[in-house]
Structure 1
Amino acid sequence: MNELTRKVLTTLETTEGSVTPEALSATLGLPVSSVARHIKILREAGYDIESSIDSGYLLVRVGGALTPETIQKVLKTTTIGKEIAYYESTTSTNWAAKKLCAEKGVADLHGTLVVAEEQTGGFGRLGRAWASPKGGIWASVILKPTLPIDALPMIMMAASVAVARAIRRKYDLGALIKWPNDVYIGDKKVAGLILELSSEGEEVHYCLLGLGIDANVDLDELSPELRRMVTSISAELGQEVDRASLLAMILREFESRYRILESGEFEPVIREWKSLSLTLDTRVSIRTMRKTFEGVAIDIDQHGALIIRRDNGRVEKVVAGDIVHL
């Protein structure tokens, strides 16, 4: 969004009621034809702007937009999300974030948010495809952590807590975390997270925290198979949600916990994750690269690994694998 389009938006936001094209033209020093072009750009960005021959333009609803302007207006963080790269469409926000890191270097990108209206090649753990149509929150955060490499899974735990807490506090929905990286409402998935890192040995160049949240996703647009497994916040509430304010709350919740991790305190985040766990004290089936077994999930360790008590009484630690609740 260029500066002139931003000025048109600001005028619409600060004007009570409708404003005519002529009034916008006079206020901003733009030709009337140029005003119409900027209104078109705003509508394409998701702003709901009504128009009338008699009264002119009226900004009805901004909740549909997920632009840098709408996010920054409600963002209350110090670092996370202060810089935003926005895409109408991209293969994946993690892919776009990697490209940014390659082009600009990581030093000045810590905390940068990459956000897109849709992903054409979204993915989750193990490279699985993730449906990412318009209406969701598809975002990545570029991080340059100071944590030791074996503690990096704690970032995923902090982010999972942030997503679940934000959904619970904002909408009073009982969001819970399914190990290792999914957020559920009831028995259906509403969000997924992924953490990618670039490293050499023990040196971590950067991490990419990917967030996929079915905020206003129209479930009817998904395949029958997906509809059996996922839900959206709007479907649970019966109305659309303001994605910008939800994302801003998630980033705020995440930043506070990320600071705790970087101070060397892991226990508060682990304790909170456990209180929101859908998996602990549940009988599960685990499939790893080497074996499949069943047991009861009894704990997680300080690095996010799941502790399983197998039916034969043996206790095993699972760092990565597929899990099914039984």
Structure 2
Amino acid sequence: MSALGFVRKRDDKAAYLFLLPWFAGLVLITAGPVAASFVLGFTDYNLIQPPRFNGLENVTRMLGDDRLHHALGVTFTYVLISVPLQLAAALGLAMLLDRGMRGLAFYRSAFYLPSLLGSSVAIAVLWRQIFGAEGLFNQFLNLFGLTGRGWISDPDTALSTLIVLNVWTFGAPMVIFLAGLRQIPVMYYEAAQVDGAGKFTQFRRITLPLLSPIIFFNLVLQIIHAFQSFTQAFVVSGGTGGPSDSTMFYTLYLYQRGFHNFDMGYASALAWLLLIIIAAFTALNFWAAKKWVFYDD
């Protein structure tokens, strides 16, 4: 063996040694539990007794589970409303910050902060206090002579407060939008101004087409993130999904089946159904992207 080959072999061993903790985490924390949940999805397992194979019984239960169907409806409503509003708010603020105002670094950090805190227990508790019957939002309405309500405790408005919370966490997509706006050549806007195009026409004909890959990227990420939302609904509803299951997210229902009812076999099947739903939405987005996403090259 040549000296060069010996050095390469030694470097390979060192590389694998440094990668060993990552591979161990992949097998023990990610791949292992994923494979186990797939197997448990075909069993009746209560966390105490050994799993008992029951074939497709869990799939049959899903078809007749009315509470599951309600949780799917709540989750779809949350995703289809909150994600577009969140991306619109993120894009609007990114365009505002792109004008080059003073203290841009401060504002960018301040607007990004909610994305770091929005999924935390502390913010969910704060949100429950803000929109409670005696919360800050009702006190603000009282200044204008308006009568508030228990927004969290009302089935008609409880989900809306969680949608507002998700929209408020627009910081991460905003930073990505801002980076994308900085990559659009200024000469396009200058040429449009010479041709007499107004601000709205420039936005529709230049900004949106050239920013469409960034919009697509943020759309896919935020849809996946919204489907996985759990902490907000759990804390605001006290883990019940109330009032009247109005905040019963899919993940919260999955948690209840697995850890409240000790029906881990059914919960594992629900987890795989969620994976299929997210994969279907992602595949749909990639298919639709061919019709509206513009790549400069």
**TM tier, shorter chain?**
under 0.3
Q: Point out the structure with the larger strand share.
A: 1
TM-score, scaled relative to structure 1: 0.21
Q: Point out the structure with the larger helix share.
A: 2
TM-score, scaled relative to structure 2: 0.22
